[in-house]
């Protein structure tokens, strides 16, 4: 029993030192790394390269594409809900169409979310 308490004591001391000792690291090294990181980020912020015509899409077209994705998404969601209600309330056997509509809804919703974040995240 005595040896177990010694083992736990030394483990506790080792854990305490592992938490305390890294706080005394050299700060100039940390500042250099921070300056390098800031330099890399600044290079990306100052990038003034010309946008390619292949990926340049005007705002009106972006909103139109988002709308054209949103309308079928809304219709698929309504169909999924209607099939679910028909299955639960009226006892219809429409599980497979319900799951197909749910899968298509999820796929379109993920695409809609990704496109929205990529195009409109910085607002």
Tokens 């999820």, located at residue: 106
**Domain range summary for the chain, segments of one domain joined by +:** 2-45, 59-120
The token pair at 83 is 């099939």
Report the Cα–Cα distance between both ends of the chain, in Å, rounded: 65
pTM of the predicted model as reported, rounded to 2 decimal places: 0.55
Contact 117, 95 (CB under 8 A): no
| pLDDT means over runs of 10, the chain (123 residues) | 69 67 56 72 68 75 93 96 96 96 97 92 71
Q: Which residues contact 97 (CB under 8 A, 6 or more apart)?
A: 83
């Amino acid at each position: 029993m005595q040896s177990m308490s010694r083992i736990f004591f030394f483990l506790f001391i080792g854990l305490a030192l592992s938490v305390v000792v890294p706080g005394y690291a050299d700060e100039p090294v940390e500042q250099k790394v921070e300056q390098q990181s800031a330099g890399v980020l600044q290079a990306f912020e100052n990038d003034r390269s010309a946008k390619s015509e292949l990926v340049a899409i005007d705002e009106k077209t972006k909103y139109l594409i988002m709308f054209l994705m949103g309308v079928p998404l809304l219709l698929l969601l309504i169909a999924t809900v209607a099939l679910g209600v028909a299955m639960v309330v009226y006892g219809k056997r429409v599980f497979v169409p319900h799951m197909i509509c749910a899968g298509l809804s999820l796929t379109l919703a993920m695409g809609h979310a990704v496109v929205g974040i990529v195009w409109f995240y910085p607002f």
